[in-house]
Amino acid sequence: MTVEQTPDATRGDRFMLHTARRLLTAPALAVVIGAGLLVAPQAAAAAGVAATVDVRGTLRIRTAPSLAAPIVGAVHDEQRVTVECATRGTEVRGSQRTTDVWDRLGAGRYISHAYVRPLGTIPSCAAVRAQAQPVKVRPAAVKTAAVKYTVGRIRSSDGRVNVRAGVSLTSPVRATLANGARVNLVCGVVGARVKGTVRTTTQWDRLSNGRYVSHAYVVTPTLRLCPGAPRPVQTPALTPEQFIARSVAGAQRGWREYGVPPSVTIAQAILESGWGRSDLSVADRNFFGIKCFNGKHGPLANGCHTYKTQECTKAGKCFVTTASFRTYASQANSYRDHGYFLRVNSRYKPAFKYTRSANKFIWTVWKAGYATDPNYYTKITGIMARWGLYRYDTWK
């Protein structure tokens, strides 16, 4: 699950504690939904339901009920909004509750219900649409329309494919599908980017039972978009210059917060993610391969993703195992977590004598055992020099 808000750097830790105290348990969440969300609309709901935003900072407005959808605005703490209806989407952990419900403020404008205090019953978006199209036939003549779907097949060389409650890698897993399994697909929506066996895409396919599977593992004829969903993004590989430009802000914030020179952070991201083309960076925005430990992902990641991986003994015998890696809401958070990871691990403490000397810093980190590659220091400093990364060191 993910916290959907603009971070407040001065109150981040207090917010996490505040949120943890206010999370709803599963039974309580069910009561909330039953008490006012996704129900048939009442006459008074036609003009919308007034609500108040409860967020530390600002809450993003998106074009669809997904954390991957484009941002089109924001609302601030205690701002009054009018909610037209509620629908399902990415699960979010917020100040009021943990939920996959999103509130529609208007066409193409959604905010997570995790941060909203409604002043009345919010109708279901599906119910609102149905009410807006009255049937002009006798009740006896009304027939239930069959759900139309497209048949697809799962293709996976990564093992069983997860079927989730939402379009995020942190949404609850409801089932798994084996390679070759048949799936009945209704339409496609935008969600978290996934690199799979078939393709890399932000498209998720809605099954006939209302659950979702990543299109990255599905072979299917042309599938229509779900009504109101933005078109999935197929992002081309960035040029080196574009990758560096996107790295600067997160790397410099990491230095301000934890003391890792920005030039070091950017160079390590380039080397360890292959200019942002690695599976971890594409699917999970993890640019440094930082793992989850005992199921814990730390304060800056938003979840864990388990992969099959190959490891080898010193004798050269290799075997397949699994490893759990951290997932992030943004590239900047991955860069910040890199700084946090080095700062809190005691073995790297000597390096922080050189927070204003990039070469000495990475030399000390490497000697402390960060990488076993005997040429790691040379590779990192070579990248820093070739691409002029020293110019991003904030203290200069």
pLDDT tens readout for residues 143-197: 444 567 889 999 888 889 999 998 888 788 899 999 999 999 998 888 887 878 8
Q: What is the pLDDT of residue 237?
A: 65
Query: Region 288-297: what's the mean pLDDT?
Result: 87
Query: Region 12-39: what's the mean pLDDT?
Result: 34
Q: What is the pLDDT of residue 170?
A: 79
Q: What is the pLDDT of residue 318?
A: 75
Average pLDDT, the chain: 80
Q: What is the pLDDT of residue 148?
A: 79
pLDDT at 133 exceeding the cut of 60: no
pLDDT tens readout for residues 90-110: 888 888 888 889 999 988 899
pLDDT at 329 exceeding the cut of 60: yes
pLDDT at 267 exceeding the cut of 50: yes
pLDDT at 8 exceeding the cut of 50: no
pLDDT at 48 exceeding the cut of 80: yes
Q: What is the pLDDT of residue 222?
A: 74
pLDDT tens readout for residues 356-371: 999 999 999 999 999 8
Three-state DSSP string of the chain: CECCCECCCCCHHHHHHHHHHHCCCHHHHHHHHHHHCCECCCHHHHHCEEEEECCCCEEEEECCCCCCCCEEEEEECCCEEEECEEEEEEEEECCCCEEEEEEEEECCEEEEHHHEEECCCCEEHHHHHHHCCCCCCCHHHCCCCCCCCEEEEECCCCCCEEEECCCCCCCCEEEEECCCCEEEEEEEEEEEEEECCCCEEEEEEEECCCCEEEHHHEECCCCCECCCCCCCCCCCCCCHHHHHHHHHHHHHHHHHHHCCCHHHHHHHHHHHHCCCCCHHHHHHCCCCCCECECCECCCCCCEEEEEEEEEECCCCCEEEEEEEEEECCCHHHHHHHHHHHHHHCHHHHHHHHHCCCHHHHHHHHHHCCCCCCCCHHHHHHHHHHHCCHHHHCCCC
Q: What is the pLDDT of residue 304?
A: 87
